[in-house]
Chain A
Amino acid sequence: MSELLLEIADDELILGWRDSEWTGIAPFLEEDVAFSSIAQNEVGHARALYELAARDLGTTADELAFDREPSEYRCSALVELRLPEWERTIARHMLYEQADAERLEQLKASDDPEVAGLAAKIDREEIYHRLHAEMWHERLKDEPRYREALEELRPLVGERNGHSPELDSLWEEMTSVRRSQPAGTKW
């Protein structure tokens, strides 16, 4: 179970990181607020999932989030990509939220009450992400660029074999502050 929790936590952490790249540069202010808020939620979900996994693995959430090698992350290829184009970001958002909803539905039925409880909590917050994705999907669904982005990104949803070089550069930035001090530093 801890492997599945890590898979989801890594997806949420890396996607949260990518979503946060829209802070300050979205096409309009409302979307600056929306993507910043979604990013904050996703990182919050990652933290809770890492905490649950950390109990089984005898480590801490921070160590799982930041002290592993890039090759150890289990995230999907979909969330790794830096997507500075709005229609591709919305396409990823839509594809991710659909896949995440299915996954959470299964986790909510888990025999482990802690896993099922956390999945139910995450799912309630994700409702708002899904509404946001659906709203944009409705707006863009007839735009050829958006349709192309959906087709381009769809095969990446469940792709977890190997990583793109984009994860490596993200990891460099994401962990640089933590790596600047010896392991075990109290921040």
Chain B
Amino acid sequence: MTEAQVWEALAEIPDPEIPVISVVDLGVVRDVRVADARVHVEFTPTFLGCPALEVMREAMAARIAGLGAEPDVEVVLDDSWSTDRITPEGREKLRAAGFAPPTPRGAGTTLVQLQSNGFRCPYCGSRETALENIFGPTPCRSLRYCRDCRQPFEQFKTI
């Protein structure tokens, strides 16, 4: 078995809460190493309180076991995951599903910035959007409202 085969298999696992993107699109798989029949995966959580973490970990382990290898999924609790790790394909899939992708880390996350008009509506593309709530239905999302197409939408938080 090759590392490429493992990456390919993991790329078929959907995010449990936003199934339009895979765990690989999400950037939570930091490293894959194959040694004989053992596959070591380094997995970095998104938000620490996200209930999808266990589901993702188990899905990856089951997928690797399905390839006939022994899974070893290590959860790395450091700062290496960022929304900047979401792949360009992943960002496009999010936008198409009505989730505004996160702004880059470098763009900043002050209240003034969050309340500014820089965020684009995933439905009509307008930047005339307003922050409704910093918090949303899951830890990774905020709620915004588009003043042009009058559509509320979910904005990925930048972390």
Given the known interface contacts A132-B135, A134-B111, the answer about A41 and B49 at a Cβ–Cβ threshold of 8 Å is yes
Q: Which residue of A lies closest to B75 (CB)?
A: A51
Interface residues of B in 90-147 (CB under 8 A from A): 109-111, 114, 132-139, 143
Bound-complex Cα distance A121 to B81 (A): 8
A41/B132 in contact, CB under 8 A: no
C-alpha gap A138/B28 in the complex (Å)? 36
If A125-B139, A135-B111 touch, does A41 touch B47 (CB 8 Å cutoff)?
Answer: yes
What residues of A have a CB within 8 angstroms of the CB of B77 in the complex? 48, 51-52, 114, 117-118, 121
Tell me how many residues of B have a C-beta within 8 Å of chain A: 25
One of A42, A113, A118 near B49 (C-beta < 8 A)? A42
Per DSSP, chain A at the interface is: helix
Which of B47, B80, B136, B157 interacts with A33 by CB under 8 Å?
B136
Enumerate chain A residues within 8 angstroms of B143, measured Cβ to Cβ.
33
Return chain B residues, CB-CB under 8 Å to A43. 49
Number of residues on chain A facing chain B (CB within 8 A): 31
CB-CB contacts below 8 Å: A98-156 with B:
113-114, 117-118, 120-122, 124-125, 127-128, 131-132, 134-135
CB closest chain-A residue, reference B115 = A135
Within 8 Å of chain B (Cβ to Cβ): is A47?
Answer: yes
Indicate if A65 sits at the interface (CB-CB under 8 A): no
The smallest beta-carbon distance between A130 and chain B, in angstroms, is 9
> Whole-angstrom distance between the alpha carbons of A30 and B142 in the complex?
11
Chain B residues in 8 Å Cβ range of A33? 133, 135-137, 143
- Give the distance to chain B from A105, nearest Cβ to Cβ, in Å: 14
- Verify A117–B135 contact, CB threshold 8 A: no
- Whether A132 contacts B134 by the Cβ 8 Å rule is yes
> What is the bound-complex CA distance between A43 and B47, given in angstroms?
11
B18 within 8 A of partner (CB): no
Closest chain B CB from A72 CB (angstroms): 23
Query: Would A30 and B157 be within 8 Å (CB), given that A41-B49, A131-B114 are in contact?
Result: no
User: Does A37 lie within 8 Å of B79, measured CB to CB?
Assistant: no
CA distance A38 to B103 in the complex (A): 21
8 contacts between A and B (CB under 8 A): A37-B138, A44-B47, A45-B49, A48-B48, A52-B77, A118-B78, A120-B78, A121-B81
Distance A38 CA – B50 CA, assembled complex (angstroms): 12
B73 CB-CB contact with A under 8 Å:
no
Interface string of A29-56 (1 = CB under 8 A from B): 0100110111011111101100110000
Mask of B23-66 contacts with A, CB within 8 angstroms, 1/0: 00000000000000000000000011110000000000000000
